[in-house]
Amino acid sequence: MENPEKLLDLLSQDARLTPAQLAAMTGASEEEVTDALRTFEKNSTILGYKTVIDWDKTAKESVTALIEVKITPQKGMGFDEIARQIYSHHQVESVYLMSGGFDLTVIIKDRSMREVARFVSEQLAPMENVLSTGTHFILKKYKDYGVEFDPSDNDKREVMIAW
């Protein structure tokens, strides 16, 4: 299909769109869409499909923390390997290599602040290559993955009599 990356734009906004809907929206055939998606999945361009959830509206307790990590790379162990050791922990949601004042951003989600603290002090900080950590707890999410968390008054339009 022409410009298959358009599918990525659409799916990044709504992963539930079906191949039939994507076909209607892009003008391609359903088969072309299915093929393009399969290719994106095979070559790991599309890595997964997730749901944006406001966990505060649920009974589930969780906290998210952003941790700044400074690292001393050692012989035979570059950033990639250190990052891998960190992201292998199931609590870790994201790991980014950064430019600037520190090296890695680690986002971790766990049941409670105590769990997070335990992870940092028992798993992360003791790692040989980790120089220092700075932990910031996230207090409230306003927007995540491009989605606003409080869409209550989004449509400000009044119904007009003359249309």
Partner 1 sequence: MVDYEQLLSDRVKEVKPSGIRKFFDVVATMPDAISLGVGEPDFETPWQIRRAGIQSLEKGQTFYTSNWGLAELRRQIAALTRRKYQLCYDADKEILVTVGGSEAIDNTIRALVNPGEEVLIPEPSFVCYTPLTQMAGGVPVPLPTRVEDQFKLTADALRAAITPRTKLLILPYPNNPTGAIMTRDELEAIAAVLRDTNIIVLSDEIYCSLTYGKDPHVCFAELPGMQERTIVVDGFSKSYAMTGWRLGWAMGPKELMRHICKVHQFGIMSAPTTAQFAGIEAIRSGEDDIERMRTQYDIRRRYLLGELRSMGLACFEPQGAFYMFPSITSTGLSCEEFCERLLKEQKVAVVPGSAFGASGEGHVRISYSYSMSHLREACFRMRKFLQSLS
Query: Given the rule CB under 8 A, which residues bind partner 1?
Result: 10, 13-14, 20-21, 23-27, 154-155, 157, 159-163
Task: Map tokens 């996230």 to a residue.
Answer: 138
Q: By CB neighbour count within 10 A (0-12 exposed, 13-18 middle, 19+ buried), where does 128 fall?
A: exposed
For the CB of residue 7, give the shortest distance to partner 1 in the complex, in Å. 11
For the CB of residue 21, give the shortest distance to partner 1 in the complex, in Å. 6
Residue 10 or residue 63: which is nearer to partner 1 going by CB? 10
**Side-by-side strand order, sheet with 63-71:** 92-97, 104-110, 63-71, 130-137
Residues contacting 110, CB < 8 A, separation 6+: 62, 63, 65, 91, 116, 119
Residue 10 or residue 117: which is nearer to partner 1 going by CB? 10
For the CB of residue 59, give the shortest distance to partner 1 in the complex, in Å. 25
Residue 28 or residue 124: which is nearer to partner 1 going by CB? 28
